[in-house]
Amino acid sequence: MSETAKQQNISEYFGCNVFNETVMRDRLPKKVYEAVMKTKNLGTALDNSVADIVANAMKDWAVEKGATHYTHWFQPMTGITAEKHDSFLSAAENGKAILDFSGKELVKGEPDASSFPSGGLRATFEARGYTAWDPTSNAFIKDNSLYIPTAFCSYTGEILDKKTPLLRSMEVINQQALRILKLFGNTTATRVITTVGAEQEYFLIDKKLFDQRKDLVLTGRTLFGAKPPKGQELEDHYFGNIKKRVSDFMKDLDMELWKLGVYAKTEHNEAAPAQHELAPLFTTANIAADHNQLTMELMKKTALKHGLVCLLHEKPFAGVNGSGKHNNWSLLANDGQNLLDPGDTPQENLQFLLFLCAIIKAVHTYAPLLRLSAASAGNDHRLGANEAPPAIVSIFIGSNLEGVLNALEKGKTYVAPTNQEFVIGVDALPNFPKDTTDRNRTSPFAFTGNKFEYRMLGSSDSISCVNTIINTIVAQVLSEFADELEQADNFESALRQLMARTIKEHKSIIFNGNGYSEEWIAEAERRGLPNLPTTADALPHYLKDEYVSVFEKFKIYTRAEIASRTEILLDNYNKVINIEALTMLDMANKQILPAAIKYTKELCDTVIAKKAIGIEGGAEEKLVRRLSDITNSLDEAISVLNQKIIDSKNCNGSQELSMFCKNEILPSMQSLRALADELETIIPDTLWPFPTYLELLFMI
């Protein structure tokens, strides 16, 4: 079949490698199928007796599709996924082999956990870890293995992964949201699920060029690189024509994702040259998290097939935009209502307004938690860099909703402004209603019509942490609201009072203006909103008593688990910066200095040769003096950075080290880079030791 014919048949192969509802309905006895569906849709525990039947059906299906192995697929604290493959092979009598897969093997796995980060939760001698089947996310086949999504915990029950807390938080917000729905007289909804759509940004560069840069190979970003003559200033890349090589990659990627049931929907070019975005249709939060992991993995693999490398680093190139991930989040009741859909007259939709108030209060009260969910060494280069949301958390709700909330606070009736239509001015084109939440791209937490869009995440982040946090903090506020309203004699007046009070106390988190402006930083400070510019500043907040108590109350994390997570994240920050600093030294010593010396020699030879025939100094002499000055400074900067790395060994503990990285190492790296980049502008292309920005960004 030709590629195009294949494209036309999406529905035929969409999900063809997924053990999904259709396959289960076909292959499982009715009772077993219903039990699995109940678990999937209502979160009820699955009876052990059905596991054997499901396992066997899964195995038969997988083997028919060519699978030979199965793996428990999990999401340890590395932020990516892990897997260990076992074959279906079992020994049978007379030296024969049979293919076997039991319910026990489906439900529980025992990978050696000693090499995954645990942040001090467990000593290596307690290396045992367990993986437990997550029946709410479908198993699938990839590379001849049956992948079973699982949760990962230690022998003593501490959670070691990103999936478990997310699943717990979804359960918690379900319970609290149902309490609120009940207060509004809803008798049809029995479950509220968190829905998420994660838009993913990435860069594509040529593999041959990538291989020539140690910084890209070792750290995923360029540690050196002078600005090319052209960047993104012409804005000609955003939504621009997609180059053939890139569009072939996108088609291939879509196909691979569709086979795995990932709803890849939109592909387009992004703002920076060589930057692109993929947006999926939204789905249940934990499935969205699994799917985002698959998306990142397949982006990398598929790029290689096309001679390209997919960079998921938040800031692969200085001077052009970095890559983020937009986490679109909403709540969907199983009677079909999106709880964040305001309808045509939000002022009359008290239920919507109460959920909106809860989110406003949650984001205001727990802003540092949201900030730290996006904290990493890579993302620090992006947040607040006038291209991504600032490191200050605020909420955008648009002028209409702000008007509604103002009226509510003052107990007045809201009058909607009239004439909310765009007039396009061409008769043949329909006029369409103006989006009441016109798009503010600079806000970290924006209401976009019927969902909130959290925009601080870095492109390589797992979306699990932020959704765990949003679910938990909103559940906490919903539980406070429900506690109060359940006691009320007059529901509507209690409700209006509660909302007016909430708006008054928490509206300072609402900001509809330009989040990139300098004024906002000053204004946010006046409002008392925390500004945590780096990972080193943000992470210690994780352990604040008032946050820990909420996580403990809802049994999302224990204090020890939060401490271990903080430790892992800080440690990662420190290690990343250490690797980057060492890579810089290596490149500076072995590539940049030698290039500078070589060019110096060429120039000196020329000067001598010219003098020999009686021509004085001139351009070469001027240039060689300048070159020599910068080279000396570069050599000095190398020594400084080298010494800082040695000094960093004296830090006590990862928090102190993270501050040292932020205050001492990163600035020294920056100084070294500035000098190298200056050299790059004078040393000829033929002598420069690795591909430049021009080649990397424009020659694909």
Candidate residues 175, 338, 497, 628; the one interacting with ligand ADP per rule CB under 6 A: 338
CB 356 within 8 A of CB 502: no
Say which amino acid occupies 412. Answer: K
CB 625 to ligand ADP: min, Å: 52
Using CA atoms of 642, 648, 654, 656 in order, give the dihedral in degrees to the nearest 10.
-130
Report the alpha-carbon angle 602-603-605, nearest 5: 65
Question: Which listed option, ligand ADP, Mg ion, none, makes contact with residue 79 (CB within 5 to 8 Å by class)?
Answer: none
Alpha-carbon dihedral sign for residues 472, 476, 481, 486: positive
Chain-centroid distance of CA 286 in Å reads 14
Q: Which among 318, 203, 386 is positioned nearest to 677, based on CA atoms?
A: 318
Residue closest to 638 by CA, chosen among 565, 554, 582: 582
Q: How many residues bind ligand ADP (CB under 6 A)?
A: 17
Closest by Cα among 119, 72, 459, 500 to 277:
459
Question: What residues between 137 and 176 interact with ligand ADP by CB under 6 A?
Answer: none
**Please, which residue, 163 or 326, has the CB nearer to ligand ADP?**
326
Work out how close the CB of 288 gets to ligand ADP at its nearest, in angstroms, rounded to a whole number.
8
Rounded-to-integer distance, Cα 665 and Cα 574, Å: 10
Which among 190-198, 237-245, 356-364, 536-544 is the span making contact with ligand ADP, rule CB under 6 A? 190-198
What minimum distance in Å lies between the beta carbon of 328 and Mg ion?
7
Q: What character string, x for contact with ligand ADP (CB under 6 A) and - otherwise, covers 263-302?
A: ---x------------xxxx--------------------
We find the least distance from the C-beta atom of residue 448 to ligand ADP, in angstroms, to be 6
Q: Is 254 in the site for ligand ADP (CB under 6 A)?
A: no
Stretch that binds ligand ADP, among 80-88, 327-335, 473-481, 602-610 (CB under 6 A): 327-335
78 binds, among Mg ion, ligand ADP, none (CB under 5 to 8 A by kind): none
Residue 200 lies near ligand ADP (rule: CB under 6 A): no
- For ligand ADP, the binding residue among 196, 299, 457, 466 (CB under 6 A) is 196
Pick one of 237, 276, 364, 451: the residue that binds ligand ADP (CB under 6 A): 451
Residue 199 binds ligand ADP, judged by CB under 6 A: yes
Q: According to the binding rule CB under 6 A, does residue 335 interact with ligand ADP?
A: no
CA dist., res. 123 & res. 422, Å (int): 63
What residues from 197 to 216 belong to the interface with Mg ion (CB under 5 A)?
199
Q: CA–CA distance from 388 to each of 100, 320, 523, 529 (Å)?
A: 51, 11, 18, 18
Q: Residue from 59, 276, 313, 326 that binds Mg ion (CB under 5 A)?
A: 326
Least CB distance to ligand ADP at residue 337 (A)? 11
Binding segment for Mg ion (CB under 5 A), chosen from 88-96, 321-329, 471-479, 679-687, is: 321-329
Identify which of residues 446 and 524 has a Cβ nearer to ligand ADP in the complex.
446
Distance CA 41, CA 21 (A): 11
Residue identified by tokens 């076992």 is 86
Q: Which two tokens stand for residue 435?
A: 């989006």
Binding residues for Mg ion, total number by CB under 5 A: 2
122 scored as a contact of Mg ion (CB under 5 A) = no
Alpha-carbon distance of 340 to 358, in angstroms, equals 11
DSSP string, 630-689: HHHHHHHHHHHHHHHHHHHTT--HHHHHHHHIIIIIHHHHHHHHHHHHHHHHHS-TTT-S
CB distance 15 to 291 below 8 Å: no
616 C-beta neighbours (distance < 10 Å), count: 8
Site string for ligand ADP, 410-449 (x = CB under 6 A): ----------------------------------------
- Minimum CB separation of residue 248 from ligand ADP in Å reads 22
Span between the terminal Cα atoms of the chain, in Å: 28
The answer to whether 129 touches 112, Cβ cutoff 8 Å, is: yes
Give least dist CB 10 to ligand ADP, A: 17
130 vs 454, beta carbon nearer ligand ADP: 454
Q: Which spans of this chain sit near Mg ion (rule: CB under 5 A)?
A: 199, 326
Q: Which spans of this chain sit near ligand ADP (rule: CB under 6 A)?
A: 195-197, 199, 266, 279-282, 326, 328-330, 338, 450-451, 453
